[in-house]
Amino acid sequence: MRNCSQTNPRIDQVGIICYRFNKDKLEFLLVRTSDRLWIFPKGNIEKNESLWRAAEREAFEEGGVSGEIETEPLTNFLHLKKGLKQEEIELNVAVFLLHVKSCRKPLENHREPTWFDPTGAEKALSEGRSFKYSEEFKRVIRLACGRINE
């Protein structure tokens, strides 16, 4: 766990919003969790690794994508994850934007990277989640759309 700054809360993990334009239509890349839910590529920060480098690594490992990353987080979001003993743990995830320039097979084969339009991404991220966490993902998608369309 990291403290992003004196004013920001503790950062438990990093996530990355991978996006592209397909025939001028915005799309977001989501991957599957071990519980078969959809999520942005995300994961832990390795020792001596910057937050944005960790996010970039997760994009490649889980989504098989690389491209141009914004080195400052877009926002943070709350995510509920099951621990090793199946207990629920609330994580604070710093999320970055990545404009995808290349795609290949991900290192983590079980992730099933899939592209969604913004509305489809909101729906997929809401499936199987409580209202609180569903709203967190919707907020993040809307922030991403706003930043991308600036």
pLDDT tens readout for residues 61-103 = 999 999 999 999 999 999 888 766 777 889 999 999 999 999 9
Higher pLDDT, 10 or 148: 148
The model's pTM: 0.89
Quote the pLDDT of residue 6: 38
Total domains in the chain come to 1
pLDDT above 70: residue 8: no
pLDDT tens readout for residues 36-56 = 999 999 999 999 999 999 999
Give the chain's end-to-end CA distance (angstroms, integer): 32
Q: Give CA 90 to chain center in angstroms.
A: 15
Asked if 57 contacts 120 with a C-beta cutoff of 8 angstroms, the reply is no
Quote the pLDDT of residue 7: 46
- The C-alpha angle with vertex 143 and arms to 138 and 149, in degrees rounded to 5, equals 125
How does residue 1 score in pLDDT terms, banded at 50, 70 and 90? very low
Provide the H-helix boundaries in the chain: 51-58, 118-126, 131-148
Query: What rounded mean pLDDT belongs to the chain?
Result: 91
Pairing of strands 38-39, 88-103: unpaired
Q: Which domain does 26 fall in, by range?
A: 2-148
Quote the pLDDT of residue 9: 66
Provide the H-helix boundaries in 12-130: 51-58, 118-126
CATH label of the domain that carries residue 24: 3.90.79.10
- Residue 33, token pair as written in the block: 């969790």
Give the C-alpha separation, 18 to 80, whole Å: 21
Quote the pLDDT of residue 4: 43
Task: Report, as an integer, the average pLDDT of 18-46.
Answer: 95
R_g (Cα) of the chain, nearest Å: 14
